[in-house]
A and B are shown apart, each in its own frame.
Chain A
Amino acid sequence: MLKKLFFGGKIEQKVIEKIKKHIEILCSACETFRIALEKQDKNLISNVFELEREGDIVRREIVSDIFIGAFLPFLRPNICKFVEIVDNALDAVEDAAFEYLDLELDGEIRSDCIKIANINFKMCEILSIAFETLLTGKDLREKNLVIRIYEKKIDEIKHDLMRKLREKDIKNFWEGKIISDFITYLANVSDIIEDASDYLQIINVSMR
């Protein structure tokens, strides 16, 4: 019933499909980046850049369709905001990928970064499940909590990683800056996905 009321129209369905695609692109970008880290294959980074560009195109189409008149007016700003946040997550993956091009990771630092990238990917999958749940009108609390659990785990790994980095010998300013920025962007993806999940909850509540 809820689904029919809020998402039932043809143009709404078109936007929903595009939002799903947008989240799928984020999942693919996170997965590609994780594989690039695992296999130490920097050739895969160009695929992350392509996915980010594809995400930009989909975002523009979604916003444009919403301005044409999809969804009830009170829902539009929240849906636009959600799409923007997902796009910010894609930007953060791209930024991390860009820094990785000039970086050589080794030992425990590399394995921690892979762990973070892996959890980022899992969070994207849960976000996708949460969006599907929103469409059915069911409660999102459990999905939201799982995203928070994953985010907390990344926070723990990040703090541990920062401590390890402080003990590492840094040869020059740029080496230090690149690795510091890389970790910041990588860990930031989960923060942004958590924000997106919170926004889904806001949309869900606003429809009641």
Chain B
Amino acid sequence: MKVEEIMNTKIEFIEANATVYDAIEKMVDKRIRSLVVKPRDENDVYGVITVRDIVFRVLNKNLDPNKVKIEEIASKPLVCVDKDIDIEHVIKLMEKFNIARVFVCEKGNLLGVVALLDVMSGSLIKRVRGGCIA
């Protein structure tokens, strides 16, 4: 099964110079667990900030989320795959880098994101369909 079939195309962005509190607000409002961090300039690349980063790198260290900037804790660059890649490959990447989401990119453009839950659903669909995907 290809990544394209299970990826989520709704991606939420945040500016690199926004505060962690801004990210918390956005994540709570939209009920999502990660935000893509926009590049600061043309020499920069996309990054990602997750709930996990906020909890372990800011809140757990008693840092003020209003004072910490997104760029200080964001992970860069994104782990990207092609839309035609098989989900088995995505699972291997997730395991290798210990990450919960992989981004789908094409010529520098972000097409979507595949999270662990999508991979789990995709694997189940594949199992039920006996490996035959239309």
Spell out A's residues near B (CB within 8 Å). Answer: 121-122, 125-126, 129, 142-143, 145-146, 149-150, 156, 160
Contact = CB atoms under 8 A, between A and B. Distances in A.
Contacts of A142: 124, 127-128
Interface residues of B, number: 9
B129 A125 contact: yes
B129 A126 contact: yes
B124 A129 contact: no
Nearest to A150: B125
Residue of B10, B121, B127, B128 ringed by the most chain A CB atoms within 10 A? B128
Q: Considering the complex of A and B, which 6 residue pairs feature the smallest CB-CB distances, nearest first?
A: A146-B128, A149-B121, A146-B125, A142-B128, A143-B128, A146-B124
A60 B125 CA distance: 33
B121 A125 contact: no
Nearest to B124: A146
Query: Main secondary structure on chain A at its contact with chain B?
Result: helix
Contact of A129 (B10, B121, B128, B134): B128
Contacts of A150: 125
Interface in B77-134: 121, 124-125, 127-130, 134
Given A122-B134, A160-B10, A149 B124 contact: yes
